[in-house]
Each structure stands twice: as structure tokens, then as C-alpha cells.
Amino acid sequence: MEHMEQTSQLITRRVKVRLYGQDHEFSVEPDETILAAAQRANLDPPYACQIGACCTCRARLVSGTAIMDEREALSDDEIADGYILTCQAHPTSDDCFADYDQ
């Protein structure tokens, strides 16, 4: 039931990311991840596997909320500290700010 409630929150959202010392803002469509939306916005965030296994796309969620399809590469402590895999993360609030530089 909780997953259904979370996925119903997947609507187009505005997201900010800090990448290489600069802040960028773009929209994330309901069917795309933060990483895919950043690439669509002509940004070049770090990534490799795109299946949630390598941690290359890891960013710290400074504000807002997101759900992840997979989280294999992150420990429970990293998740508790706010880290997400942007290749697996979908924003569920309008105030998402993900920092790739942390």
C-alpha cells in the first residue's frame, strides 16, 4: 500500500541539482529519473551502470523527498544520511535539491 501511495506522487516536478559547483534547475517527468532528466537538460552528471548497482550517480538529497526503484549500491547508513542513486530516484516533492558534489 505504501508503494502505491508513493508512486501516485510521481508527477512532473521541478528539481535542483548541484553539479561541479553550479546549481541547475529542471523538470523531471513522472516516468523518468533525476539522472535521465539531468541528461535531458544537457547536463553531464556522473553515471555508469544505470541500474542502481555501482553508486557512480550518488548524490545527497539536501531537501525534498524521492523514492528509488533500486538501492543496491547504498548502505542503510548512506540512505539515512540522505544519499540517493539518481539513476533510480524519482522526486516526490517540489523542493528536491540533490547535491552531486557532496
Inform me whether the pLDDT recorded for 1 exceeds 50: no
Average pLDDT over residues 46-57: 96
pLDDT at residue number 17: 99
pLDDT at residue number 6: 56
Edge-to-edge strand list for the sheet holding 83-85: 22-28, 13-19, 96-99, 58-63, 83-85
Question: What's the chain's average pLDDT?
Answer: 93
CA distance 84 to 77: 11
Q: What is the pLDDT of residues 72-90, one digit of tens each?
A: 899 999 999 999 999 999 9
| CATH number corresponding to 2-99 | 3.10.20.30
Neighbours of 83 (CB within 10 A): 21
| Confidence band for 8, pLDDT divided at 50, 70 and 90 | low
pTM value is 0.91
Cβ–Cβ under 8 Å, residues 92 and 63: no
Q: Where do runs of H (alpha helix) occur along 12-72?
A: 34-40
The structural domains of the chain, with segments of one domain joined by +, span: 2-99
